[in-house]
Amino acid sequence: MTRVSLLCGMAQPPRSLGNIAAGAAGSVCGVPILSLYLAKLEAEKRHVEEVAGLHMRTIEALALAIEAKDQNTHAHLQRVRIYAVELARKLRLPQEEIEAIQAAALLHDIGKLAVPEHIISKPGS
């Protein structure tokens, strides 16, 4: 049997817990084990959501850089995003895939960042 010792920062000796299985009864420093697990799970979920938000803001910043390079791109990027997201919704794709499609739509012209300005803004383009 695996034994786990937990210190709770109180003036009492550490507690030993035998194999902790899902739904196992017990507590650590007076806090139920399941409550500790759920709190940790909720904190990790919030962290993932924060990172996903940061990821999308980074993509939006890159899209702004693309727009700054070519004035005609702004309306185009927005149209592509709207069409792509609406098609994904009509296809009843999962929300995660819709968010990925939205990011891809904003980034599909990212190669323009590497193209010299005189080529992008040449007459007749």
Q: Which residues are catalytic?
A: 112
Tokens read off for 122: 């040449």
- In angstroms, the CA 17 to CA 23 distance is 13
Q: Which residue intervals of the chain are DSSP H helices?
A: 33-69, 73-90, 95-107, 117-120
How far apart are the two ends of the chain, measured CA to CA in Å?
73
Sequence-distant (≥ 6) Cβ neighbours of residue 124 within 8 angstroms: none
- In angstroms, the CA 6 to CA 12 distance is 11
Sequence-distant (≥ 6) Cβ neighbours of residue 30 within 8 angstroms: none
